[in-house]
Amino acid sequence: MVQDGIDLASLDKFIDDVKQELIDARHHSAVDRLRTKVFGNQGVIRLAMKGLASLPLDERPSVGRVINDIKNELERLIADRSEEIDSLEFTKKLGPEPIEFSIGGYDSPGTLHPITQIQRKIEEAFGRIGFTEARGTEIETEWFCFDALNTPKNHPARDEMDTFFLPEDTVVSSASKYLTERYLLRSHTSTVQIRTMLKEKPPLKIIAPGRTFRRDTVDATHSANFHQCEGLYVAEGVTVCDLKAVLNFLLHTLFGDDIKFRLRPSFFPFTEPSFEVDMMSKNLGTLSNQWIEILGCGMVDPEVFNAVGYDSTKFSGFAFGVGLERVAMLLQGIDDVRMFYQNDLRFLNQFS
Ligand code: PHE
């Protein structure tokens, strides 16, 4: 150690020790202690400078330069370690998987969500056969969601257990006869049939993809929030044959050529007759070669035309509604609907 005179050999040894201690330092307090030991009033640099005085005049400049170099080097090492400890403490605060802000962006431009991909596929295909796209609103009134769709007041879908109603104080009393009901989150996209028919005169051909809501308890096959795509074609002389042709087009678009489908009689308040469509395909993994229920459809009920002021003796039409999650799950062999909403990149990246 340097005391009164200067012993360059022990100065070297001292510096090596300081360097090692710096490497071991894990906290700012340890670095501060070293800083004092080197640069403080009793620190080694100051003592060495003092010691210069006892050297012969002609040796002072060269030894002084050596001390100065050492001083600069230690200053730099201490500052560097201090910065490293800053970043160590910062990453510790961020938890086990620290974010490294200095890394550049990923090359991947991202991909469309699997539900969006299905939606785009339907939009693109139906655009080719002259259907335009219509949009409704996610918050609706009972009239659009049920009454205009010929759904009686006591229908189970209107139950508080099945539909999300907004609080009573959001009820609007407006001059419009359509807006005097309770607000709700639409339970199907069939509301867009009504919205479109009120605005436009037949003939019309629309699809209406969008988000829908039901009070389902969330599990692998149920989600309170899901997506549907509605289809509606109204003109003079539309028949079940037209419906079948368009369903054939829709299912082939989604599932490829190798499928069969059948219409099974069913019931919806807003279509008469109503059908459930089942399909069968060789390419659906564990669900291959069996009938799978895929969508609901039917011929627009004359009561619906009456509600929107269409002449039900002149016009006829068909409507269908398909669940997009259902299609994506079948196509991709996904067995848990919750995966669609968790934004887990390990899931989403599989659909690029
Ligand atoms: N809206 C129906 C549902 O959500 C589906 C449907 C649409 C049925 C159009 C017939 C016609 O279940």
- In this predicted structure, the answer to whether residue 172 has a pLDDT above a threshold of 90 is no
pLDDT at 283: 86
* Band of pLDDT at residue 1, cut at 50, 70 and 90: very low
pLDDT at 13: 86
pLDDT at 3: 44
pLDDT at 109: 72
Put simply, whether the predicted model's pTM sits higher than 0.85 gets the answer: no
pLDDT at 162: 92
Q: What angle do CA 64, 67, 68 make, to 5 degrees?
A: 85
268 Cβ inside 6 Å of ligand 1:
yes
Over residues 110-114, the mean pLDDT reads 90
Give 149 Cα–ligand 1 centroid separation in angstroms: 10
- In this predicted structure, the answer to whether residue 177 has a pLDDT above a threshold of 70 is no
232 Cβ inside 6 Å of ligand 1:
no
* Band of pLDDT at residue 174, cut at 50, 70 and 90: low
131 Cβ inside 6 Å of ligand 1:
no
pLDDT, one tens digit per residue, over 29-71 is 899 999 988 888 888 888 888 888 888 889 889 988 988 998 9
227 Cβ inside 6 Å of ligand 1:
no
321 Cβ inside 6 Å of ligand 1:
yes
CA dihedral 241, 246, 248, 249 (to 10 degrees): 150
* Band of pLDDT at residue 296, cut at 50, 70 and 90: very high
- Return the half-sphere exposure (C-beta side, CA atoms, 13 A cut-off) of residue 83: 6
pLDDT at 81: 92
- In this predicted structure, the answer to whether residue 230 has a pLDDT above a threshold of 70 is yes
DSSP 180-239: SS-EEE-SSTTHHHHHHHHH-PSSEEEEEEEEEE--PPPBTTB-SEEEEEEEEEEETT--
Choosing from 234, 240, 270, 316 the residue with most ligand 1 atoms within 8 A of its CB, the one to mutate for a pocket test is 270
pLDDT, one tens digit per residue, over 259-279 is 999 999 999 999 999 999 999
pLDDT, one tens digit per residue, over 119-141 is 999 999 999 999 999 999 999 99
296 Cβ inside 6 Å of ligand 1:
yes
Q: Name the residue at shortest CA distance from atom 5 of ligand 1.
A: 321
Alpha helices, DSSP H only, in 40-113? 44-52, 60-94
Give 151 Cα–ligand 1 centroid separation in angstroms: 12
Strand-pairing partners, residue 132, are 206
- d(CA 142, CA 259) in angstroms, rounded, equals 38
Give 157 Cα–ligand 1 centroid separation in angstroms: 12
Q: Name the residue at shortest CA distance from atom 2 of ligand 1.
A: 321
